[in-house]
Copies of this chain bind each other. A is one copy, B any other.
Amino acid sequence: MSLEALLAPRSVAIIGASDNADKIGGRPIRYLQEFGFTGRILPVNPGRETVQGLPAYPSIADLPEVPDAAIIAVAGQTAVEAIEACAAKGVKAAVIMASGFGETGPEGKAEEARLRKLANAAGMRLVGPNSQGLANFGTGAILSFSTMFIEAQPQDGPVACISQSGAMSVVPYGLLRERGIGVRHVHATGNDCDVTVSELAAAVIQDPDVKLLLLYLETLTDPEHLARAAAIGRERGVPIIALKSGRSQDGQRAAASHTGAIATADRVVDAFLEKHGIWRADGVLDLVQAAELYLQGWKPAGRNLAVISNSGATCVLAADAADRAGLPLAQLAEQTEADLRSILPSFASARNPIDITAALLTDSGLFSRVLPVVGADPAVDMFLIGIPVSGRGYDYPRFASDTADFLKQSGKPVVLAAPQPKVRAAFTELGVPAFETEDEAVAALAQFAAHHELLAASRGGALSRPALATAEKAVEETAFLDEHRSLSMLEAEGLTGVERRLCQTADEAVAFLNAADSPLVLKACSAALPHKSEYGLVRLRLSDAAAVETAFSEIKAGVEDLGHAFEGVLAARMTSGERELVVGGRIDPVFGPVVMLGDGGILVEAMPDTALLLPPFDEADVRRALAGLRIAPLFEGVRGKPPLDAAAVARAAQAVGAVLAAGEGRVRSIDVNPLLVSAEGAVALDALVEVAQGE
């Protein structure tokens, strides 16, 4: 269903229209008139003939036409009745500003659900409740009561901000406007009872003039729409940055009381956003810091940085900052350094970071000669100009125009770091992104480069719908499959399980010992005993027939002593390897199948070292995940040992993902522990699959 009625309505009714432009029911009317809305404005107010110079109507039923959109600027029961009246009238979309619904608790949630059902049945979409409203400065459709459009003069531009929170729709707006950046969309959706931030994102990202999409989310109940928005964004080259708050426990609790947000395991949100190429901002600064870089449309080829400054200290500090941010300094070609030496004074440094020294005082054209030389070096992907001190004696307007000329010609990212506001202003006026300190400039470059890498690696992918459909059954009873069956199920999808035989008699176990030509492990195998080692029903290092026979009978007796039917003893070959990993998976109620992989061993809980992946994923995705772990060096080889087999780990992780997905929600969790990894392979020594009852 298109959201055109919200973003570009031909007519807007304001229920609770006020003649006072400073009231919630008055401000949108002022804005619609002030910011270029060309459609019809239809104030509804039973007590007035005109509102802010426009003819007013006593009720929704009395409106002379069916409005595309309605703003519900009345509260409580009056708001509920207005929504019902709008639905009856045939209004296409309503923005509900009233609060006191889902954010107050289950009763409010239920009322929201009722209103959504009623509206949708009549073909009407709802924004809110508890919404500050939507604002599209491209069409002038300002269905919002935010005061920020008075505080910071709007200007149509390439950025869209979509937020549940009213404050967090206009805070990035204000920060961007302060930096002279135009913003087209400023939408605050509130409780997201029907239209969510994600759905609105999928609509707004199709606006051909939007080049950057900023989101603020307190809850993410609607990942399909966000995945779709991300896919359109990747197709159109529009990056998305999302600030999903509630990372911390305190934050989640506060979010729950703010917009009624449901807590989601935060690391799954990370994995989801990463998979879809959406950059996750940690705070407001991250959301806007690199905006100028994104809007240049640069496509950095890599993350190798050149630093050029008139201060040696800035060179040192920028090199440190780049190292912290993971941006290597570009290694310049010998010819580049030779060319630089011919331009720079002898006491300057022609190596990167390039210290052009105070020679800039007497030679204002230095930048115009140095930049093209460094720019021609293919090793350099990005540029940081540092001018910590300028002003009297320095022709900084010239430096700015030389840099701006270079920026236009090179097509590579160029930013300035300068603590003096007037120096920054000279550069930003000419389109060079400028920051107060090296730290901030480097942070913006690093985010920009990393986001491009993320987008290049992202292939998105649809969510697993069947799994999602079962999410509501999360409370149902589950049971474990026995170890042998669990392993076999995973083997069918490509996992390598330990060489083993399910034995009903000791003779069978002894026969396996002879065939295996290796010591054995014997374990109770029963769906009723998933944690057999806790009951002492595991025997290790059995190397002769007598030991196997004794172990077999002890385990069998142990199972029966516990009151369980004997289902067999699993005889497995003792296997050695370099490192124990764990691979697991579960069905997340919002995101569907989630696969975890990480370091194993008894200390894994106290010192976790794990990564999450959302299926489907390939070997390259698993390698990237492993590269982010602390044990990453093991997959490159340490102390002369060959690297551990990442491809085999990938096959195991993919098998877990495949079993979860194939289970269509009936497989609830999988635990492969340990996965014994060596240079040539990864063998699952144990596995446990949990399924919904009734399978």
Task: Kindly state the separation between the CA atoms of A419 and B167 in the bound complex, as whole angstroms.
Answer: 11
CB pair A420–B151 under 8 Å, yes or no, is yes
Chain B CB within 8 A of A378 CB: no
Extra 20 A-B pairs, beta carbons < 8 Å, given A150-B391, A245-B313, A607-B630: A22-B393, A100-B347, A165-B313, A167-B389, A168-B311, A218-B313, A248-B322, A248-B324, A250-B323, A250-B352, A251-B319, A257-B312, A257-B351, A283-B320, A283-B437, A283-B438, A285-B436, A603-B634, A606-B633, A606-B634
CB pair B355–A254 under 8 Å, yes or no, is yes
Which of A171-179, A546-554, A674-682 lies on the face that meets chain B?
A: A171-179
Task: Kindly state the separation between the CA atoms of A135 and B283 in the bound complex, as whole angstroms.
Answer: 39
Chain B CB within 8 A of A284 CB: yes
CB pair B320–A245 under 8 Å, yes or no, is yes
What 1/0 mask marks residues of chain A from 178 to 216 whose CB sits below 8 Å from any chain B CB? 100000000000000000000000000000000000001
How many residues on the A side are at the interface (Cβ–Cβ under 8 A)?
85
Task: Kindly state the separation between the CA atoms of A440 and B246 in the bound complex, as whole angstroms.
Answer: 18
In residues 79-120 of chain A, which contact B (Cβ within 8 Å)?
99-100, 103-104
State the 7 A-B residue pairs at the shortest beta-carbon distance, nearest first: A258-B312, A248-B323, A165-B313, A606-B638, A606-B633, A167-B311, A250-B319
Chain B CB within 8 A of A332 CB: no
Q: Report chain B residues within 8 Å CB of A437.
A: 283-285
Chain B CB within 8 A of A147 CB: yes
Chain B CB within 8 A of A343 CB: no
Q: Report chain B residues within 8 Å CB of A243.
A: 317
Chain B CB within 8 A of A363 CB: no
Chain B CB within 8 A of A329 CB: yes
Q: Report chain B residues within 8 Å CB of A319.
A: 248, 250-251, 253-254
Chain B CB within 8 A of A344 CB: no
What 1/0 mask marks residues of chain A from 223 to 251 whose CB sits below 8 Å from any chain B CB? 00000000000000000000101111111
Task: Kindly state the separation between the CA atoms of A547 and B388 in the bound complex, as whole angstroms.
Answer: 72
Q: Report chain B residues within 8 Å CB of A245.
A: 313, 316-317, 320
Task: Kindly state the separation between the CA atoms of A247 and B285 in the bound complex, as whole angstroms.
Answer: 25
CB pair B174–A420 under 8 Å, yes or no, is yes
CB pair A282–B639 under 8 Å, yes or no, is no
Q: Report chain B residues within 8 Å CB of A638.
A: 603, 605-606
User: Smallest distance from the beta carbon of A525 to chain B beta carbons, Å?
Assistant: 25
CB pair B175–A320 under 8 Å, yes or no, is no
Task: Kindly state the separation between the CA atoms of A203 and B139 in the bound complex, as whole angstroms.
Answer: 65
Chain B CB within 8 A of A314 CB: yes
In the complex, the chain B residue whose C-beta lies closest to that of A305 is B250
Q: Report chain B residues within 8 Å CB of A246.
A: 316, 320
Q: Report chain B residues within 8 Å CB of A596.
A: none
Task: Kindly state the separation between the CA atoms of A630 and B609 in the bound complex, as whole angstroms.
Answer: 11
Chain B CB within 8 A of A631 CB: yes
In the complex, the chain B residue whose C-beta lies closest to that of A636 is B606
Chain B CB within 8 A of A413 CB: no
Q: Report chain B residues within 8 Å CB of A178.
A: 421
Known contacts A347-B100, A633-B606, A251 near B283 by CB under 8 Å: no
Task: Kindly state the separation between the CA atoms of A319 and B256 in the bound complex, as whole angstroms.
Answer: 13
Tallying the copies of this chain within the complex gives 2
Q: Report chain B residues within 8 Å CB of A175.
A: 419, 436
User: Smallest distance from the beta carbon of A639 to chain B beta carbons, Å?
Assistant: 6
Chain B CB within 8 A of A645 CB: no
Chain B CB within 8 A of A602 CB: yes
In the complex, the chain B residue whose C-beta lies closest to that of A148 is B389
User: Smallest distance from the beta carbon of A610 to chain B beta carbons, Å?
Assistant: 14
CB pair B171–A316 under 8 Å, yes or no, is no
CB pair A313–B391 under 8 Å, yes or no, is no
CB pair B440–A151 under 8 Å, yes or no, is no
In the complex, the chain B residue whose C-beta lies closest to that of A439 is B283
A284 in complex: contacting residue of B259, B317, B391, B421, CB < 8 Å: B317
Chain B CB within 8 A of A162 CB: no
In the complex, the chain B residue whose C-beta lies closest to that of A388 is B167
Interface CB pairs A-B, < 8 A, 13: A147-B389, A150-B392, A167-B311, A168-B388, A171-B419, A174-B420, A245-B317, A250-B322, A254-B353, A283-B438, A284-B437, A285-B436, A603-B634
CB pair B248–A285 under 8 Å, yes or no, is no
Q: Report chain B residues within 8 Å CB of A313.
A: 163-165, 167-168, 216, 218, 245, 258
CB pair B165–A311 under 8 Å, yes or no, is yes
Chain B CB within 8 A of A63 CB: no
What 1/0 mask marks residues of chain A from 680 to 693 whose CB sits below 8 Å from any chain B CB? 00000000000000
In the complex, the chain B residue whose C-beta lies closest to that of A151 is B391
In the complex, the chain B residue whose C-beta lies closest to that of A258 is B312
Chain B CB within 8 A of A264 CB: no
Task: Kindly state the separation between the CA atoms of A237 and B353 in the bound complex, as whole angstroms.
Answer: 38
Task: Kindly state the separation between the CA atoms of A352 and B314 in the bound complex, as whole angstroms.
Answer: 41
Chain B CB within 8 A of A321 CB: yes
Chain B CB within 8 A of A595 CB: no
Q: Report chain B residues within 8 Å CB of A285.
A: 436-437, 439-440
Chain B CB within 8 A of A349 CB: yes
CB pair A353–B323 under 8 Å, yes or no, is no
Q: Report chain B residues within 8 Å CB of A167.
A: 311-314, 388-389
User: Smallest distance from the beta carbon of A418 to chain B beta carbons, Å?
Assistant: 10
User: Smallest distance from the beta carbon of A557 to chain B beta carbons, Å?
Assistant: 28
Of A103, A168, A218, A243, the most chain B CB neighbours within 10 A belong to A168
Q: Report chain B residues within 8 Å CB of A639.
A: 602-603, 605-606
What 1/0 mask marks residues of chain A from 146 to 164 whose CB sits below 8 Å from any chain B CB? 1110110000000000011
Task: Kindly state the separation between the CA atoms of A181 and B651 in the bound complex, as whole angstroms.
Answer: 60
User: Smallest distance from the beta carbon of A461 to chain B beta carbons, Å?
Assistant: 28
CB pair B284–A320 under 8 Å, yes or no, is no
Chain B CB within 8 A of A170 CB: yes
Task: Kindly state the separation between the CA atoms of A311 and B420 in the bound complex, as whole angstroms.
Answer: 33
Chain B CB within 8 A of A661 CB: no
Chain B CB within 8 A of A255 CB: yes
Q: Report chain B residues within 8 Å CB of A259.
A: 312
User: Smallest distance from the beta carbon of A341 to chain B beta carbons, Å?
Assistant: 13
Chain B CB within 8 A of A315 CB: yes
Q: Report chain B residues within 8 Å CB of A419.
A: 171, 174-175, 284
What 1/0 mask marks residues of chain A from 297 to 333 whose CB sits below 8 Å from any chain B CB? 0000000000000011111110111111000010000
Task: Kindly state the separation between the CA atoms of A420 and B420 in the bound complex, as whole angstroms.
Answer: 20
